[in-house]
Amino acid sequence: MDIYKRHRFPPEIISHAVWLYHRFSLSLRDVEDLLAERGVDVSYEAIRYWCRKFGSSYARKIKKHRGMLGDTWYLDEVFIVTVRGERRYLWRAVDQDGDVLDILVQKSKNQQAAHRFFRKLMKGQRRSPRLIVTDKLPSYGAALRNVMPSSLHCNDRFANNRVEVSHQHTRAQERQMRRFKSSGQAQRFLSVHSQVNNLFRIGRHLLCAETYRILRNRSFRTWQQVTCAC
């Protein structure tokens, strides 16, 4: 089935617009200007529609292509505030390499919320981790005993700094968007944003130039495959 059927613009332009929006901290109007500079006349509302329609499909394919990630999971939760002033918590899990395993926006951070997030992680990774690193929130320990009793649990001070640092990209985009408008918008956007960031987060400071270019080209080839834009 052709997901681009009845769209006026070709897949290369649509996928590039979605990539720009989720790869960098840009607004929809910034993406519109970048495309206009290349001679592509498209409105920011059309770009918003593309990101909403195709973004989740791209993210699922990227996640499927990467398969299971590391066996050490770092978990954390931070709050985001919607436009109506309602507080929501963003639950995030990353592995030992810093790749985002999954995210979930919820109303609370109690045991039920932790239990729901663990089930989502188990469904996506299809296995229990060797070690789970969290902060000292009591909800984690109570939920772990029910969902992942065989996994080791560490909640030492500063042990989960890796996942706390991973929130920086989220905060930067949240400021650019002038806060998320709803919990649903936050869940949709961050689910795509995290997978695109996983694909293109290569760690340039750890590699020589030649190796970095090889890995970057591999990421671009994967993006072309999942977007059917090759």
How many Å from the N-terminal Cα to the C-terminal Cα in the chain?
16
Block means of pLDDT (10 residues each) for the chain, 230 residues, are 84 96 91 96 96 94 85 89 78 90 91 93 88 92 89 89 79 77 87 92 85 94 87
d(C-alpha 219, C-alpha 202), whole Å: 9
So what's the pLDDT on residue 153? Answer: 93
Query: Which residue ranges make up each domain of the chain?
Result: 11-66+200-227, 72-181
So what's the pLDDT on residue 213? Answer: 94
What fold, for 72-181?
A: Nucleotidyltransferase; domain 5 (3.30.420)
So what's the pLDDT on residue 166? Answer: 77
d(C-alpha 95, C-alpha 65), whole Å: 17
State residue 39 phi and psi, 5-degree precision: 90, 15
